[in-house]
Amino acid sequence: MLEESAIAAEMQYAPAGTRDDAYLAAARALTVRRLLEDRARALGFLAEGETDEATRVAAIETVLEAEIDVPAADEAACRTWYDAHPGAIRAPDLLEASHILFAAAPDDPPARAAALAEASAALAEIERAPAKFEEIARTRSACPSASNGGALGQIGRGDTVPEFETYLFALDEGEICAAPIPSRYGYHVAKLVHRAQGRPLPYTAARAAIARRIEDRRYREAVSGYLRDLAARAGADPG
């Protein structure tokens, strides 16, 4: 029997649309965890009365590793998946972009305000005369790319900080940001020069990624079946 206090504590880790949904998600999570901890104790991986959180988590991981067997994706399975999902595995998109950085530390509000004001003024100037972007980058940007007129070269996902990347990948080719872009480094005025769409990979290049997808799916299915079996033996409902 799950204690109401335990469910209430777990609800903070179970975001949902309503309180009832969060309650049910928390109850399911606790049920699954207790089933796995009981199995860990039965297999000798967890001592009775153990309270250390890290030890209990490690025991659950040991149970899954010991009792879940997922066959590797063979050549036939990978080839079948590739043929059934044409173009699904692609090379990453690449951007050619430029920016102007007005630097300010994230924990310096006066510097942040000043940097935002400078970036806003520069952006207004560029909107009036777009050809001045490189000149302003050379003379005002705090980034080493200033010497190249703000050019950052080719950028892929993960090459820049997430808060800047999100804005940059949302721009259309040739577009300049509509407002200064905040990041941990300050404020940026950015321009997307060119976008190279990632092309579908040939089978030989895509095979490793396909195998991971197949094996991930097989693992999730195996864990789900394993939990249903544990619940049936214990007379519980994992949801």
Give tens-digit pLDDT for 14-49: 676 787 787 788 888 888 989 999 999 999 999 999
Per residue in 167-221, pLDDT tens?
A: 999 999 999 999 999 999 999 999 999 999 889 999 999 999 999 999 999 999 9
User: What is d(CA 45, CA 125) in angstroms, rounded to the nearest whole number?
Assistant: 66
User: What is d(CA 169, CA 163) in angstroms, rounded to the nearest whole number?
Assistant: 11
| Among candidate residues 151, 167, 155, 150, the one with its CA nearest the CA of residue 198 | 155
Query: Taking the model in full, what pTM does it have?
Result: 0.63
Which helix (H) or strand (E) segment is 192 a member of? strand 186-196
